[in-house]
Amino acid sequence: MSRHIVITGASSGIGAACARAFHAQGDRLSLGARRVERLPEVVPEAFCHALDVTDRDSVEGFVAAAIAANGPIDVLVNNAGLARGTEKIAEGTGEAWREMIETNVLGLLEVTRRVLPHMIENGGGHVVVIGSIAGHKAYVGGGVYCGSKRALQPICEAIRMETLGRNVRVTSVDPGMVDTEFSLVRFSGDRERAQKVYEGTRPLVADDVADCVLFAANRPQHVNLDTIVVMPTDQANPYMVHRAPQQ
């Protein structure tokens, strides 16, 4: 029996990979993103709707439209998020920080608080959060991004406790370096700088993370994977990466 899967930030990267993975096993999809024009290219059969997680009206409209199109939500994949710049705390202007916190933390909360009551009313569901190794280990120039990702850990823990006995599962999937548009966004479109992040090493790709999401979502209903940390073999933590010598 197919499930209704809702994915935020589904226009590229991990969100798009999750959409393709769930679609391949026959699930119904509701995809949201700011770049809504990209969504039909991800999964043509999916229900697609504009979504800006930092805008309450946009979130409310997206969730209502998704339920109207595909019925009760079985799995919510909170993927929308970003890093912006590498400002040190003493050198920051605050604008990039505000964007990251509003997207990564408040945006996730705005979506989740609208979906959870429906899950509880309908007898259960699964909330998946795409976190980051940055939520476990800080690094220079990433303090606010790391803080926004670490905030997701107690949020997930609280949801687990608050919904205990309601058949709601909560999983945080926390990857290390993934070769997506992440660095391109972080460096405001500087493609050369973004590519250097992955030079000489073997990062994860979006499908690797989607495999983890799918594995967690496909466990029997009595099994909850609280946290999955998935790293490239060539990465030990955010600042220790093995790179092959340049020829």
239 annotated active-site: no
Helix (H, G, I), strand (E, B) or coil at 65: helix
Question: Catalytic one among 139, 145, 198, 239?
Answer: 145
User: Shortest CA distance to 47 belongs to which of 60, 26, 62?
Assistant: 62
First to last CA, the chain: 52
Distance CA 129, CA 132 (A): 10
Instruction: Please provide the size of the chain in residues.
Output: 247
CA distances for 121 relative to 71, 73, 79, 188, 226, angstroms? 13, 11, 24, 42, 22
Q: Measure CA 53 to chain center.
A: 12
Cα atoms found within 13 Å of the Cα of residue 183, Cβ hemisphere only: 16
Contacts of 135 (CB under 8 A, 6+ apart): 146, 149, 150, 151, 152, 153, 174
Active-site residue set: 145
